Amino acid sequence: MSKNAQCPERTGTFLRSAAARTPRSTGLVKLVWCDRALALTIALIAFAFCMACVAGPAIAQTPTTTTISTSANPVFGGERVTLTVNVAGAGGTPTGNVTIVQSCNFTCGVGFVTLATVPLTNGQATFETPALTTYGAGQSNYLFKAIYAGEPSFSASESAVLTQSLSRGTTATAVTSTANPSLLGQSVTLTATVTALTGVSNFTTNFSDDLIFYDGSVEIGRRNINAGGQVSLTTSALGLGSHSITARFAGAIEHTGSTSPPLTQVVWDTDGQRHHLSELHSRVLAWSSAHRQPDAGQWSGDLLSQDRNRRGADIDLVVQGHIRGGRQVPDG
């Protein structure tokens, strides 16, 4: 059997580009094959050859550099920052988008995650972050990075990692009383006020009972402060005598804790108060006579006619040696 009988001739023609033709070429390539698979392979090779001739050399991209900066560093928890991304390339201004990614210990997700994709304007993009959180001291920084996607004339690039540091705001705590001195068994409302000295002014708490009231070293109640930093405790259980009342704030998501200066809360019984008022009346009259103050008698009479809470407050002033108008009542 002849070769042509075993392998019938099959031919195909493929157009070559003009640039690839020789002076004697007709622009057609004639192929002969016996196997269909071989024919397909040859056809693909010829197609790739023709496309390469048409496409020509690739266009070179200009390298770029990407940088990222922050408007403030460090900042307090609960504050925002503005991130600025700059993309530069020789011989022109890159266009397109940059993607800002972030990483942090608890609230960002795993690894670097996308925060925002921002278009470039004159090679620059800005983005204001959401409020950054210290997460109750568990998160002391965020990591930011900018990634430029590139475009036909400029290559892709990414910035170095920017470390944004955070700290918790500081606080001061004070405690006041609605009646001081008070009578035995009388309800007294103690109010603690927490003030932000640094950081954001409002408080975000997720701690249970973040403020505790103490009488000396004895806990007398615990509460949660509101967003404005206040909380109250009403009690009628204070015994006779002086009590050193303090309020201890445990801290909030973005703030550290603090303890108030002691408040001396005095508790009188009814008989003890009457006795003290009588003694006070005599001392005021004696002092008036010695110092020729004609209004002192009227003043002491006014004192005796006040309600119990006001009398209690005046008692406390006189015990410390002061009366109205800055005049002094001697202890003797």
Q: Is pLDDT larger for residue 327 or for residue 92?
A: 92
pLDDT digits (tens, 9 = 90+) for 41-82: 666 776 665 555 555 555 789 999 999 999 999 999 999 999
Per the domain annotation, does 296 fall within a domain?
yes
Q: Look at residues 167, 191, 213 and tell me which one is the last residue of a structural domain.
A: 167
The answer to whether residues 127 and 44 belong to one domain is: no
Q: Is residue 332 part of a domain?
A: no
Q: In this predicted model, what pLDDT tens digit does every residue of 167-202 receive, in sequence order?
A: 999 999 999 999 999 999 999 999 999 999 999 999
Looking at residue 31, what is its pLDDT? 45
Residue 201 lies in domain: 171-268
Q: Is residue 331 part of a domain?
A: no
In a domain? residue 316? yes
107, 135 Cβ separation under 8 angstroms: yes
Q: What tens digit of pLDDT does each residue of 98-128 get?
A: 999 999 988 888 899 999 999 999 999 999 9
Q: What is the largest CA-CA distance in the chain?
A: 154
Is residue 99 domain-resident? Answer: yes
pLDDT for 288 equals 64
Residue recorded with tokens 């309600």: 307
Enumerate residues 6+ apart whose C-beta is below 8 A from 28: 13, 14, 15, 16
The whole-angstrom separation of Cα 35 and Cα 41 is 10
